[in-house]
A = this chain, B = another copy of it.
């Protein structure tokens, strides 16, 4: 073979060398910076990392199907009111993504204007909770997703209705086939749950506190840092700990409204029928807590400061000063995060057909 290259001049070598030098200097500088921040975490960051940890990209478990098609299908089902008996209520009705995954009501309004039993928790970051609902009656977001659809005072539907609706709409039938390629009958209630769950596993909000945990010492204000330190010193993290600062354990709790009325919810006892679980409720997550009012399992308190005072007294027997409450509230402001734009985008739902069951407003 004959290589017919003109050899570059020394000048060209020098130019190439200069470019490479600048390139490597830049790369090394970046590496250097990030390794510095890893090794030089502040004492407060190290303490915070003992009670929580930075968010992963999603909440999928190992081996779970995470295909885009599955997640998109789940998003459509999450927003589709045809899953309800009346054709007016969807998951989104009570877990409004425009209001941080809640409806900001003491209890939700469902089929026939019936009221729910407990305050609707946020669907954001829900997959990180060790169990679902205030009384933990579902383990995963997939199990959870299927339940309000069938609940008489929520979406009031039946599995049969849901499957009839979805089977009657060609675009859904195709999408289920693509999302569940190994399934002989892909349009199943179980797969509805799996799809909605898959979408919910992507509903992760990234807050300034998360950035602080991830190494950015400047993502919190000085007041928020003082609030975080106080949060740990006060012992709030005893219950509000883990990935979402809550959602891990159950704790004994009666609200002032329950005590006043004498109508005290049995809580987790209703599920386990164990005396030890009487009046026990899942500790709620504190992520986006500024936006997830009203608070407590009966949604009976609207004010965050008031809730902080009450819970500190009830759970830790601590009387907080006004200044302490303000600092804790400041810290909680750093727990607000946003969803990615593409997640906030409404899906366009496929049209019904003549086979689609009609909405039924009756009780």
Contacts and interface: CB of A to CB of B under 8 A. Distances in A.
Contact of A345 (B103, B346, B348): B346
Contacts of A346: 97-98, 344-346
Given A87-B104, A344-B346, A354 B302 contact: yes
A113 B110 CA distance: 9
Interface in A321-350: 338, 341, 344-349
A86 interface: yes
A170 interface: no
Given A115-B361, A361-B113, A361-B115, A352 B104 contact: yes
Interface in A99-140: 99-100, 103-105, 109, 112-113, 115
Interface of A: 79-82, 86-88, 93, 96-100, 103-105, 109, 112-113, 115, 290-291, 293, 302-303, 338, 341, 344-349, 351-352, 354, 358-359, 361
Contacts of A293: 351-352
B290 A351 contact: yes
A346 B101 CA distance: 12
Nearest to A98: B346
Contact of A103 (B88, B97, B115): B88
A349 B113 contact: no
B354 A303 contact: yes
A23 to B, nearest CB: 30
B345 A99 contact: no
A302 B98 contact: no
A205 to B, nearest CB: 11
Nearest to A293: B352
Nearest to A96: B81
23 contacts: A80-B98, A81-B96, A81-B103, A81-B104, A86-B109, A88-B93, A88-B103, A97-B346, A98-B347, A98-B348, A99-B349, A104-B352, A109-B361, A113-B113, A290-B351, A293-B351, A302-B352, A302-B354, A302-B358, A338-B348, A344-B346, A344-B348, A346-B346
Contacts of A103: 81, 87-88
Given A88-B109, A109-B86, A345 B341 contact: yes
A103 to B, nearest CB: 7
Contacts of A341: 345
Contacts of A344: 345-346, 348
A173 B28 CA distance: 47
Contact of A351 (B112, B291, B351): B291
A37 to B, nearest CB: 29
Question: Taking each of A105, A113, A290, A338, which has the highest tally of chain B beta carbons within 10 Å of its own beta carbon?
Answer: A113
Nearest to A290: B351
Given A98-B347, A113-B113, 18 more contacts: A80-B98, A81-B103, A82-B104, A88-B93, A88-B105, A88-B109, A97-B346, A104-B359, A109-B361, A113-B361, A290-B351, A293-B352, A302-B352, A303-B354, A338-B348, A344-B346, A344-B348, A345-B346
Nearest to A113: B113
A104 B165 CA distance: 14
Nearest 3 interchain pairs by C-beta: A113-B113, A98-B346, A344-B346
